Structure 1
Amino acid sequence: MDSFEIISPREFTGLLNKGELEDALVIDVREQMEWEYYHLEESILIPMNTIPANLDQLPRDRKLYIICAHGVRSANVCYFLQEQGYEDVINVDGGMAAVAMLRGFQYD
């Protein structure tokens, strides 16, 4: 099986900041509690364990950027999606921890 693409947090953040991901879908696979703590406005929440039941929400004709806390769960989701026939899945390396530092998230 081909391995999925991996994007660095810096490159991903750059694309987001330039508005270059508007044709793509950013999927956050963390849990609701993690999402509520902080998330990207550009992303949608589909927790990892609910991905199989929500495949109908995932278009096959768009790039899917998968993000989690640190990049481990998102890698597993990328493998799963490839097994389901999705060809354009991209794992965000370092996850929200890395992206949040680059975007300067403020924590309460």
Structure 2
Amino acid sequence: MGWIFIVVIAAFFVWKIIPSKGVRTITTKELKNILNDQEKVFVDVRTPAEFKARNIRQFKNIPLGSSFDKLPKDKEIVVICQSGMRSNNACKQLKKIGFEHVTNVRGGMSAWN
């Protein structure tokens, strides 16, 4: 019976980290090459305290759970968090509300140097 519980927990975590259909994933190395692209909107979904402690200048802080309604739907939205899990969640939400060009930064700020 215990193995069923382990399988369910493992499936839950795999489901949480698998990118949504239509969400592009990039590395922090790839992010460095696009940071000055005016056709992209950069969103950091960490808490305000996390953002204040360390951030990338081009990113706007919109914590996960906030409204994404004011973001332009005609631009690519690039999302980052601390590890990539919250940003993946945010990307799923953005796709659900009609954003077509959504990109998640794999590894998040933990991978940024």
Q: Same fold (TM over 0.5)?
A: yes
- TM-score in terms of structure 1 length: 0.81
- C-alpha displacement at 1:97, in angstroms? 1.5
Identify the residue that residue 82 of structure 1 maps to in structure 2.
95
Query: Is residue 69 of structure 2 the alignment partner of residue 47 of structure 1?
Result: no
Say whether 1:34 aligns with 2:47.
no
Q: How far apart, in 2, do the equivalents of 1:60 and 1:3 lie?
A: 15
Question: Which residues of structure 2 form unaligned runs of 5+?
Answer: 1-19
How many angstroms apart in 2 are the aligned matches of 1:25 and 1:15? 11
Q: 2:78 aligns with which of 65, 79, 84?
A: 65
Aligned-pair CA distance for 1:49 = 1.4
List runs of 5+ in structure 1 lacking aligned partners.
Answer: 102-108
Between the aligned partners of 2:34 and 2:62, the Cα distance in structure 1 is: 22
Partner of 1:106: none
Identity of matched residues, %: 32
- Runs of 4+ aligned residues of structure 1 deviating over 3 Å after TM superposition are none
Paired positions, count:
94
Structure 2 CA distance for aligned equivalents of residues 24 and 73 of structure 1: 19
Quote the RMSD (CA, aligned, Å). 1.3
1:2-42: CA deviations, max 9, x gaps? 331001111111222xx2x2221000000011011110110
Which residue does the alignment assign to 1:3? 22
Which structure has the bigger radius of gyration? Answer: 2
The C-alpha deviation readout for 1:47-99, integer Å capped at 9, x for no partner, is 0011xxx2321110000000000100000010111111111000011101212
